[in-house]
Amino acid sequence: MIKFDFNTMVDSFIDKDNFNNLMSRKDEVYSKFSEAYMTGWTKPIEVDELNEILRVRDEVLEHSECLVVIGIGGSFLGSYAVEKMLSPYFNNYNFEVIYAGTTLSSKYMDELLEYLRGVDFTVNVISKSGTTMETKITYELIKELMKEKYNDSEIKERIIVTTDKEKGLLREEVNEVGYESFIIEDDIGGRYSIVTPAHLFPLAFNIDLDKFIEGIHDGKDLINEAYMYSVVRRMMFDNGKVVENFVAYEQNMYYFTEWLKQLFGESEGKEGMGCFPVSSIHTRDLHSLGQFIQEGNKIIFETFFKVEKSNLVNYKNSDLHSINNIVLDSVEAAHFKGNVPCNLITIDEVNEYNIGKLMYFFMMSAAFSSLLFEVDPFNQPGVEVYKQEVRDNLKLD
Ligand code: PA5
């Protein structure tokens, strides 16, 4: 169960004429969305593709103790966020999945390589373009280590590539060596790729994919809620509330908020438009950013995530989860009194189905919201600027 409240602590900030105007653009936005090329993620996942993911996973389980996933941005955040939300805090799952490729820290790399010397592992390198610097460097360094540990045929069975069907260096390597590979379809961009093997393969090791995929499919039912949320975001922007703070009361939702930041940041942040996405984990951040949100510059609106059911830990005449949720309600009310509009999204529990559904809801919202800002939800031209600067300064063979 997922409930949305974009009204109680938002309504007084809403200009009715602007609201009616934005609501009347629904058909126009839906039709732009359905005509857009990069919406391959709205198609159902093929059964054959899913069976292939499970087949390759089973092969990996036969010879490896650990999977090293190499990718960054949209080729990393989705699966990592889901894995974190569904993993126990301690003594994580039986099968270890390490996510690498998101840093150029040599301390991290040195320790990772040292760790991998002692375990049997398989690599899943994920890059749609096949050219991303962090992914390429991490992959090449780990491949060097593999050459010390394994012979050619062992390496061949321990590298799995997820990339474009035809283009890029990784696809060329697959064609040359014959690695196992998965495809990220042309019409699906990185941050919308949760429904592809880029995320489903790493998740297949520890997560119930059927329930997750069912949630993703049912996310389509939330199209009207997604449009309403996009309208509210656009109205916040028009009111000078240009920063959206995603607030979670479960620590394990931290990377989910990171995924949201990428989704909205890269989709909307163009041509001077968009709400800048930030996130807070409460109650931790009440003791840092809380002061600013209550009394600082009034450029912020918030979207709270409330989880109804969790583990039972009794505390005096109450239980810890109820206390956590009472704090949430109180903070929301306090921030609202401090001129901070607050959306509320409630889920009954953190499970595969709800997460899948929520992710689909947010992908639709990011697309609609970008269209209301009159920008292309599916490109990220700004990212190229720093990449070119790096290419100019870094002379590598
Ligand atoms: O959302 C996006 O498209 C980006 O964040 C990419 O996923 C990210 O830059 C990684 O790209 P690639 O998969 O080509 O390595």
Region 373-390 average pLDDT: 91
What's the pLDDT score for residue 39?
97
Answer whether residue 396 shows pLDDT above 80.
Answer: no
Across all residues in the chain, what is the average pLDDT?
Answer: 96
Question: What distance in angstroms lies between residue 193's CA and the mean position of ligand 1's atoms?
Answer: 10
SS3 of residue 150 by DSSP? coil
Q: Is 90 exposed, middle or buried (CB count within 10 Å of its CB: 0-12, 13-18, 19+)?
A: exposed
Binning pLDDT at 50, 70 and 90, where does residue 397 land? low
Best residue for ligand 1 mutational test, from 69, 75, 167, 268 (most atoms within 8 Å of Cβ): 75
Instruction: Answer yes or no: are the C-beta atoms of 102 and 131 closer than 8 Å.
Output: no
Question: What distance in angstroms lies between residue 45's CA and the mean position of ligand 1's atoms?
Answer: 21
Atom of ligand 1 nearest to the CA of 74: 7
What's the pLDDT score for residue 17?
94
Give per-residue pLDDT as tens, 257-295.
999 999 999 999 999 999 999 999 999 999 999 999 999
Region 375-383 average pLDDT: 94
Distance (Å, whole) CA 93 – CA 95: 6
Region 315-342 average pLDDT: 97
Instruction: Answer yes or no: are the C-beta atoms of 212 and 353 closer than 8 Å.
Output: yes
Atom of ligand 1 nearest to the CA of 129: 14
Active site residue 266: yes
What's the pLDDT score for residue 146?
98
Region 56-80 average pLDDT: 98
What's the pLDDT score for residue 306?
98
What's the pLDDT score for residue 386?
87
What's the pLDDT score for residue 392?
86
| DSSP codes, 77-117 | HHHHHHHHHHS-SSS--SSEEEEE-S---HHHHHHHHHHHH
Give per-residue pLDDT as tens, 29-51.
999 999 999 999 999 989 999 99
Question: What distance in angstroms lies between residue 130's CA and the mean position of ligand 1's atoms?
Answer: 9
Best residue for ligand 1 mutational test, from 41, 69, 132, 165 (most atoms within 8 Å of Cβ): 132
What's the pLDDT score for residue 259?
98
What is the distance of C-alpha 198 from the center of its chain?
A: 12
Question: What distance in angstroms lies between residue 113's CA and the mean position of ligand 1's atoms?
Answer: 24
Query: Ligand 1 atom 8: the closest Cα is on which residue?
Result: 73
Name the catalytic one among 266, 302, 332, 352: 266
Question: What distance in angstroms lies between residue 75's CA and the mean position of ligand 1's atoms?
Answer: 6
Best residue for ligand 1 mutational test, from 41, 125, 128, 163 (most atoms within 8 Å of Cβ): 128
The pTM score is 0.96
SS3 of residue 66 by DSSP? strand
Q: What percent of the chain has pLDDT over 90?
A: 94
Name the catalytic one among 107, 287, 316, 395: 287
Question: What distance in angstroms lies between residue 149's CA and the mean position of ligand 1's atoms?
Answer: 30
Atom of ligand 1 nearest to the CA of 168: 14
The pocket around ligand 1, CB under 6 angstroms, is made up of 72-75, 127-129, 132, 135, 189-191, 266, 380
Host H or E run for residue 122: strand 121-126
In the block, residue with structure tokens 């993993």: 87
274, two tokens:
């968009």
